[in-house]
Amino acid sequence: MSKKFWQQGEPFVWATGLALSLILFLTMLLLYVVIANGLMVFWPKQVALATLSDGRQLLGEIVREEVIPGGQAKRLQFKIGNRDLYGLDFKWVDASSITSMSFPQNVQVLERQEFGNFYGFLSELEVKGLAPPATGSNSLEQTIAALDSRKKEVSLLGKKIANLNRRVEMIDHRLIQAHYDKEENTPALAALQGEKEGLKTEFEALVGILNEKGAALATNQAIFLDANGRTKAIPLVNIVRSYQPNAMSVLAKCGYYLERMRELFLDEPRESNTEGGLFPAIFGTIMLILLMSVLSFPLGVLAGIYLREYAKDGYLVRLVRIAVNNLAGIPSIVYGIFGLGFFVYGVGGSIDQMFFPERLPTPTFGTGGILWTSLTLGLLTVPVVIVATEEALGAISPGIREGSQALAATKLQTLTRILLPMASPGILTGFILAMARAAGEVAPLMITGVVKLAPALPLDGVFPYLHLDRKFMHLGFHIYDIGFQSPNVEAAKPMVYVTTLLLILIVLLLTSTAIHLRNRMRQRYSVTDV
Amino acid sequence: MQKLDRQFIRKVRRQDRVATRIITLGGLLVIASVIAILVLIVRVTLPLFQPAHASMTTNFSLPATTATPLAVGIDDTGEVGFLLDDHGLFSFYRIGDHSLLTTMAAAPKKERVLTVERSKDNVFTLLWADNSITVTQVDFRLLYAEDGQRTVKPEVMTLEESPARQYPVAVKEIKASAHEGRLTRVALLANDQFQIDREVVTTDLFDNQKKETFSLLIDEALPGMVTTFLLDAKGDTLFAGTDNGSLLRWDLRDNTSCRRTDNEVAVPGRKAVTSLAMVFGDISVAVGDARGGLATWSQVWTGEGKERTQKLRQTHVLTSHAAPITSILPTRRSKSLFSMDATGLVNYDHMTSEKHLLSLDRPLNLFALSGQGGSLIGLDQHRTVTVWGIDCPHPEISLKTLFAKVWYENYDRPEYVWQSSSGNDDFEPKFSLIPLLFGTVKGTLYAMLFAVPLAIFGAVYTSQFTTCAFKKTIKPVVEIMASVPSVVIGFLVALWLAPIIENTILAVILTVLILPLLFVIIMSALKPFYKKPSVKTFCHSYEFLLLVPVIIASMALAVWLAPFVEHLVFAGNFKQWLYNDLGMRYDQRNCIIIAFGLGIAVIPIIFSITEDAISNIPPSLSAASLALGASRWQTIWRVVMPSASPGIFAAIMIGFGRAVGETMIVLMATGNTPIMDWSIFNGMRTLSANVAVEIPEAAVNGSLYRVLFLCATLLFALTFIVNTGAELVRERLRKKYGRY
């Protein structure tokens, strides 16, 4: 009996089951980590006031609790913020040295333009030119809200100045062009120079006003006390958001959460990308995928149709088919380096020499940009589209083709009226898979044009609207950059988790749509086949 | 009606023809461009292996004079060449029209130049007949006229002058070097002694200059007669070669005493050393001998512990000549050497790669290279001047430097090294691809060890032992898993998993041991019941769910046991024990992390393809086996798996291909240090990560840029071969079972 048990291999069946459960366990674990960490980032955490055994006090969020390696004692990690006061955002404290811990209601948390969060207690408000602030727990919020219109005024001025700057830049380009063309002393040139001077004076005047208003705004400040009673004056303009987490109701917390989500999707990043929103990165990712699709899908479908419908089946076609199948397995970094060598330095360099010689040696197209990146990614995803198109066409039974041709339809008519509509779900699946792959690739982007912080979007309201030569931001690269190259990795982690969650959601959404489509298509064909 | 139809048909046919052409053209274009990728990448790497090329630009004869030429030179543009004769006169010639441009004297009113020593770019140390020394520099200025015309204007400057000095014995040869206010002059006397004179000018805080002179005599017995000697550019080291093949080295750093540090037999057969030169960087010395042999020597650490000393050792042997070597000319841009033998034949070799770059096609008497190394001027015994353009962009790269052990300067032995950049200027980049290939193989291997058993067993279970409903859920889940971006996996394993594993490394190892143990125990417990119908209906198809608690239990057990085991077996600290007793360092980002990360990336791929392969085996096969009384495992193991094995093999190959090329995970989760060590507790650098790390810094079309393209080519080739093999296997399988 016992021998039979092992001989018949029952334990091995269980062993294969163990393998599957390990795979699923690991997958679920990783997904759980991303989702749990990513979703919790924006939920306001309680701020604890801990009194240590030496009498000092500590104010901060409890981030982690762990057993000290090699011992039984526990220690806590506090996020104490106030980088401008303490130098470090995080602090480890032995649990044994904490004598008491409380969660005071009036703890104020500030999100600031610089130096990260501030944790403290509001002491007084110094406001000029505004109605005296109402007293009470939310006087700070009210005052900040009252300053809003003036803040908007200043930021509008800033935008105006940036606009002027851009116009000066364009004039500069034209001047360089004129200089290159050996154009001298023409009236057009003089007009340009005059315009530039005019813009410059306007620019200086605006900068003067901006500085004045900014300085006036900065005099409005609030005095805060930290845990140990040190005072700190913070200009109200530097406060992005302020809240009292310990006093917040669940509903208020939900509101705060939604506000942070809005910021995430619509705002620009702050503090070397570790705070603020992801708008440029989301925009860059979507734009990249769209550009890539425009370039790759038609070519891929064309090649797929050729291989399946037009090419004569032979040794060569078989070889090409194997080659195309394999190209999907070529490492993405190889495509990246090809994009760099061929598109950026080869094609881009030639374009610069032909069309923008006056700007050299400053490259226009001869450096990384969204056009080159999307071309590279297009090349990378072409095999996916080819394979999907081919398989979708191949799944259609030959009887349908023959029937159509027997009714005197030409090949093109058969293709456009019969085969393509039937294959469209399959081809669509290929498109979606290609988009999912493009959304997740980072290595080829890193060397063909993605940057950690792009000054302008590749699409804006300035002529020629679509700036294909611009560098851009990308969610995937954002993860790599802030997770691995930011000076303060610990403080950046929450943002990395959020970005990761967002990227995973995009990719999983695309992939599961594709799989769903494919399954539905399979069902349809299994019916038509019969 | 009839007419319309005909028109319509014509139109349709025309459309069809045009469409056929467009589709064919487009299809072929896509396929061609895809093939062009490989061609283009390879094309960038090809110049690495192109041989050096010397193209003769011009040659012309000089008018006959009584003066003997002692040295020649040429400017960087290749437009002006010059000749220094024994009257101390520089004659500048235009290379273009062979005309005399100007003549300039190195020093006024001097008799005759005995020897000329060249150092740096066109700096000449002239020893006059009265034993005085003049150090002059020839400089070329580029002048641009209004119309953009460029002219080269030569200038001769005197850098140092040292008055005549009387020696007690006749002087054979004098060499001098000037470096940071220190003029060192070494005279070889007729009785084989060295007279060393040194002038040191020091400037104090108040700009007062103080001049000191030192004098030393090396009168020790030498192993043979000195045939040639060499002073390095700083005047710190003196080398001498003797007629019986000895190479001697003295340390002259001290002003008041000197010490002989080395006495080595440098030439086999004790033939004479005929020529010495410092290789660029002043670390290695090139030794030419009477047999025509050319080798380089440098100081190498030898011995162990306290005995450890630096000794001169032969590091490289270069192409030999047929006749004794008369002069060696190092280039100033790379560690390459020109060497000339007694018959006037000139060879061009690179020291580190030991690559023979080229030989000049005509014998010469004197020759020189321009500062940037682009032009070479030569003068033969018939006073004919020849100018070559030298094209040698990558002298340091050869198959040997890329794939074999290379003895670099300051290393004790030949080694595989990847080090592409450094702080200082005369740094020599080291491009061995072996550590990168090693890292790629190491990472992939550990990942496959982790992924292959899990993926294949999991796929077997999914396709054969679970219910249809589960199968329909698990397959898409695994496919979705395959689409998780690698940057996400990389971030998770590097920033979330790595610190956790670092803190619980022992528990991780214990889990690996406890899990199978626990599994066997549970199986043994199950043995009496497994045939019972109630157990069967309860367990069958749900084994994998029932086993999840086992995994969690073994992990919990391992975490609980770890401190005790650490205390009992590893003296309280596992990592310390690892370092002290096994000499292994524990890096936070190591192969365990990589195995997890890459494993998670490739498991879905292997899983999907294996599952497809197994599912495509006709059910009649397993039905027959089961009907004959085989158990479900026996059927799988003996019947289904052998039939599906080509497909499973293909799955492993494709997984391997993906692991080899994976960039982001490796980039994030290893330390990216190019070391060669099999230890699972430290990291590595792979080909793909190397490209990603280095390409932003690489100068376009420089050696590093091309080497990185070579890395990409290797990756391309590796994955393409593996994938094509897998694809062929799969195609055969498909044909065999007639599915798809």
| One domain, residues A141 and A153 | no
| One domain, residues A175 and A153 | yes
Q: Which residues in B lie closer than 8 A to residue A335 (C-beta atoms)? A: 37
pLDDT of residue B425: 62
| One domain, residues A153 and A126 | no
How close, in Å, is residue A244 to chain B by CA atoms? 30
Q: What is the pLDDT along chain A (530 residues), one digit of tens a residue?
A: 456 777 777 888 888 989 999 998 988 898 899 999 888 888 888 888 888 888 888 888 888 887 776 667 788 888 888 888 887 888 888 888 888 888 888 888 888 887 888 888 887 777 776 665 555 556 777 777 777 787 888 888 888 888 888 888 888 877 877 777 777 777 778 888 888 888 888 888 888 888 888 887 777 888 888 888 788 888 887 888 888 888 888 898 899 889 888 888 888 887 777 788 888 999 999 999 999 999 889 888 988 888 888 887 777 777 777 778 778 888 899 999 989 988 888 888 888 888 877 776 777 777 888 999 999 999 889 888 988 898 888 888 888 889 998 998 888 888 888 898 888 888 888 888 888 888 888 999 988 888 888 777 777 777 777 788 888 899 999 999 888 887 777 788 888 999 999 999 988 888 888 888 878 877 766 544 43
Backbone angles phi, psi at B727, to 5 degrees: -65, -40
In terms of CA atoms, which chain B residue is nearest residue A23? B454
Asked, as a colleague might, if the bond just before A361 is cis with ω within 30 of 0, I would say: yes
B455: exposed, middle or buried (C-beta count within 10 Å: 0-12, 13-18, 19+)?
buried
| Nearest by Cα to A41 from A488, A480, A502 | A502
Q: A476 in contact with B at a CB cutoff of 8 Å? A: yes
Q: Which residues in A lie closer than 8 A to residue B12 (C-beta atoms)? A: 410, 412-413
Nearest beta carbon to residue B485 from set A311, A327, A503: A503
- Give the Cα separation of A486 and A274 in Å (integer): 8
pLDDT of residue A528: 46
pLDDT of residue B451: 94
Q: State the helix-helix crossing angle for B641-661 and B687-694, rounded to 10 degrees.
A: 20
| One domain, residues A341 and A325 | yes
Mean pLDDT score of chain A, rounded to an integer?
83
In terms of CA atoms, which chain A residue is nearest residue B454? A19
> Is the domain defined by B434-737 classed in CATH 3.40.1280.10?
no
Q: A40 in contact with B at a CB cutoff of 8 Å? A: no
Q: What is the CATH number of domain B167-359?
A: 2.130.10.10
Quote the domain boundaries for residue A411.
282-529
- Cβ distance B27 to A310 less than 8 Å, yes or no, reads yes
- Cβ distance B41 to A311 less than 8 Å, yes or no, reads no
What is the distance between the terminal CA atoms of chain A, rounded to a whole angstrom?
49
| One domain, residues A416 and A295 | yes
**Is residue A123 one of the residues assigned to a domain?**
yes
In terms of CA atoms, which chain B residue is nearest residue A395? B740
Q: Which residues in B lie closer than 8 A to residue A491 (C-beta atoms)? A: none
Going by DSSP bridges, is the β-strand pair B346-350/B336-341 parallel, antiparallel, or unpaired?
antiparallel
Window 226-245 of A: residues touching B by CB (8 A cutoff) are none
Q: Which residues in B lie closer than 8 A to residue A440 (C-beta atoms)? A: 483-488
How close, in Å, is residue B693 to chain A by CA atoms? 10
Structural contact between residues B675 and B435, judged by C-beta atoms closer than 8 angstroms: yes
What pTM does this model have? 0.87
- Give the Cα separation of B447 and A347 in Å (integer): 38
Please work out, in degrees rounded to the nearest 5, the angle formed at the alpha carbon of residue B656 by the alpha carbons of B650 and B659: 145
Nearest beta carbon to residue B461 from set A16, A70, A324: A16
pLDDT of residue A310: 83
| One domain, residues A385 and A511 | yes
- How many CB atoms within 10 Å of residue B739? 12
Tokens 């690559």 — which residue? B355
Q: A20 in contact with B at a CB cutoff of 8 Å? A: yes
**Is residue A182 one of the residues assigned to a domain?**
yes
- Give the Cα separation of A253 and B585 in Å (integer): 47
Put residue B495 in one of left, alpha, beta given phi > 0 → left and psi -120 to 50 → alpha: alpha
- Give the Cα separation of B632 and B543 in Å (integer): 14
Of A145, A170, A198, which closes a domain?
A145
What is the CATH number for A458?
1.10.3720.10
- Cβ distance A508 to B480 less than 8 Å, yes or no, reads yes
The low-confidence residues of chain B, meaning pLDDT below 70, are 1-4, 34, 109-110, 147-148, 423-426, 737-740
Q: Which residues in A lie closer than 8 A to residue B672 (C-beta atoms)? A: none
How close, in Å, is residue A286 to chain B by CA atoms? 15
- Cβ distance B481 to A27 less than 8 Å, yes or no, reads yes
- Cβ distance B495 to A493 less than 8 Å, yes or no, reads yes
Mean pLDDT score of chain B, rounded to an integer?
85
| One domain, residues A287 and A343 | yes
pLDDT of residue B272: 87
Give the model confidence (pLDDT) of B569-614 as tens digits: 887 788 888 888 887 888 888 889 999 999 999 999 999 989 888 8
- Give the Cα separation of A142 and A133 in Å (integer): 7
Instruction: Return the half-sphere exposure (C-beta side, CA atoms, 13 A cut-off) of residue A319.
Output: 5
Task: Give the total number of structural domains in chain A.
Answer: 3
In terms of CA atoms, which chain A residue is nearest residue B522? A11
Give the model confidence (pLDDT) of B331-385 as tens digits: 887 888 889 888 888 888 888 888 888 888 888 888 888 877 788 888 888 888 8
Of A204, A219, A234, which closes a domain?
A219
**Is residue A270 one of the residues assigned to a domain?**
no
- Cβ distance A17 to B547 less than 8 Å, yes or no, reads yes
DSSP state for residue A369 in the 8-state scheme: -
- Cβ distance B544 to A34 less than 8 Å, yes or no, reads no
Mutation target vs B (from A337, A502, A518; most B CBs, 10 A cutoff): A337
| Nearest by Cα to A50 from A60, A42, A35 | A60
- Cβ distance B720 to A330 less than 8 Å, yes or no, reads yes
| One domain, residues A93 and A183 | no
| One domain, residues A328 and A445 | yes
pLDDT of residue A96: 83
How close, in Å, is residue A233 to chain B by CA atoms? 36
Q: Which residues in A lie closer than 8 A to residue B495 (C-beta atoms)? A: 483, 489, 493, 496
| One domain, residues A152 and A109 | no
Mutation target vs A (from B28, B536, B614, B633; most A CBs, 10 A cutoff): B633
In terms of CA atoms, which chain B residue is nearest residue A514? B480
Mutation target vs B (from A18, A386, A477, A520; most B CBs, 10 A cutoff): A18
Of A219, A238, A266, which closes a domain?
A219
Asked, as a colleague might, if the bond just before A464 is cis with ω within 30 of 0, I would say: yes
How close, in Å, is residue A138 to chain B by CA atoms? 38
Nearest beta carbon to residue B723 from set A15, A326, A411: A326
Q: What is the DSSP string of A139-200?
A: HHHHHHHHTHHHHHHHHHHHHHHHHHHHHHHHHHHHHHHHHHTT--S-HHHHHHHHHHHHHH
Q: What is the DSSP string of B492-521?
A: IIIIIIHHHHHHTHHHHHHHHHHHHHHHHH
Window 428-447 of A: residues touching B by CB (8 A cutoff) are 433, 436-437, 439-443, 446-447
| One domain, residues A478 and A497 | yes
Q: Which residues in B lie closer than 8 A to residue A1 (C-beta atoms)? A: 527
- Cβ distance B503 to A69 less than 8 Å, yes or no, reads yes
Domain map (residue ranges) of chain B = 55-111+138-156+362-391, 167-359, 434-737
**Is residue A73 one of the residues assigned to a domain?**
yes
Is the sign of the CA dihedral A270, A272, A278, A282 positive or negative? positive
Q: Which residues in A lie closer than 8 A to residue B474 (C-beta atoms)? A: 20, 24
| One domain, residues A165 and A127 | no
> How far is residue A127 from each of residues A110, A130, A135, B685, measured CA to CA in Å?
18, 7, 13, 58
Nearest beta carbon to residue A412 from set B15, B455, B457: B15
CB-based contacts of A390, cutoff 8 Å, min separation 6:
A304, A307, A308, A321
B83: exposed, middle or buried (C-beta count within 10 Å: 0-12, 13-18, 19+)?
buried
Structural contact between residues A258 and A166, judged by C-beta atoms closer than 8 angstroms: no
Q: A56 in contact with B at a CB cutoff of 8 Å? A: no
- Give the Cα separation of A462 and A482 in Å (integer): 30
- Give the Cα separation of B63 and B74 in Å (integer): 19
Q: Which residues in B lie closer than 8 A to residue A496 (C-beta atoms)? A: 491, 495
Window 257-316 of A: residues touching B by CB (8 A cutoff) are 299-300, 302-303, 305-307, 309-311
Nearest beta carbon to residue A303 from set B27, B543, B664: B27
**Is residue A29 one of the residues assigned to a domain?**
no
- Cβ distance A483 to B662 less than 8 Å, yes or no, reads no
pLDDT of residue B740: 39
